[in-house]
Amino acid sequence: MTGAVETIKVTRDEAGMRLDRWFRAHFPDVGHVYLQKLLRSGQVRVDSRRVEANARLEAGAEVRVPRVVRQPPKAASGETKVVPPASKADRDLIESAILFEDDDILVLNKPFGIAVQGGTGTRRHIDGILAGMVDRFGDRPRLVHRLDRDTTGVLLIAKKRDIAAKLGRTFQTRAAAKTYWALVKGLPTPRQGKIEAALVKASGPDGDRVRKAEAGEQDAAMHATTHYSVIDRVANRAAWVSLKPVTGRQHQLRAHMAMIGHPIIGDNKYEGGITQIMEALEPKLHLHARRLVLPHPRAGKPPIDVTAPMPPHMLRSFELIGLDPNQFERGEIKAPGKPRRQR
């Protein structure tokens, strides 16, 4: 790092990411329009070259970034952008979702159906609500990772910019252990295994989704690995599985389970729609971020270890089909069995 510029190396886990998405993960306060301006002026470069926002990054590539992007975003007038205070309803939503809080960290149990971050047509989201609660937290809380709109469970938030950077590095080095619970169609065989399938993003009539990379798509493919384990089952009709993603790709768990023929129930995008056998279940995604374990970013503090209660719709589904969610407190994966690979 020198003067007003810093250089950040792309990790192996980030290989294949588009530059704009990489930038969003590292600098969530920087909008797309501002990033385009930085690219056009050459202030952001990759390996000293000017690139487009959709350029794919390689492991080890060096991204040149002006240090100004770490400062609070500015409005067109040059003044700091003013975020309106969160409504009482939104404040109550956040307060009721808190699983853990200290001076540096906030962990939420994200409800079903609310987006984590804004996008086209999305005005109400967790990130925006937190931005309107500066009076509560003393600074703008920052997202450390993401969950899909309809995925519930553990969501990690940093209360300070330096803490967000430290936690971001923790996720990049895979020092964070994430466990998800899902209800899937059929019974995966073997009962424990590993799914390794590189993913590429593809547009469709129902929005963006990911699929298995095909021959010739290596440059755009994103390496993805998931461990799975069957906790319990309902004959061969449905299974309660524990999922541990090694990588953190968009829709990774949903796509991987569909690839091995056992899509997550309620996932219409990945062939998990409710069928006649499961018609009594609510047509909602049955995927829950159950547990997160990682080192605390402050030296000397105990590790963060948070478990999120299951959402109401999954509890009702378990009761309907005769599964006991208390059978295993955390649904841990033991040593994986024979790997099941998708290449």
Active site residues: 148
User: Do residues 258 and 270 touch, judged by C-beta distance below 8 A?
Assistant: yes
Q: How far apart are CA 269 and CA 3, in angstroms?
A: 47
In Å, what is the CA distance from 166 to each residue of 88, 98, 342? 31, 21, 33
Q: Is 279 left (phi over 0), alpha (psi -120 to 50) or beta?
A: alpha
Element (H, E) at 147: none
Exposed e or buried b per residue across 223-250, where buried means at least 16 C-beta atoms within 10 angstroms of its C-beta: bbbbbbbbbbbbeeebbbbbbbbbbbbb
149 residue type, one letter: R
Q: How far apart are CA 100 and CA 294, in angstroms?
A: 13
Using alpha carbons, select from 143, 126, 148, 155 the residue that is nearest to residue 290: 155
Using alpha carbons, select from 25, 297, 7 the residue that is nearest to residue 160: 297
Maximum CA extent, the chain = 63
Q: How far apart are CA 92 and CA 114, in angstroms?
A: 14
Return the DSSP state at 280: T
CA atoms within 13 A on the CB side of 106: 23
SS3 287: strand
Q: Which tokens in the block code for residue 185?
A: 């169609």
In Å, what is the CA distance from 171 to each residue of 11, 117, 187, 190? 11, 18, 31, 29
Q: How far apart are CA 245 and CA 228, in angstroms?
A: 9
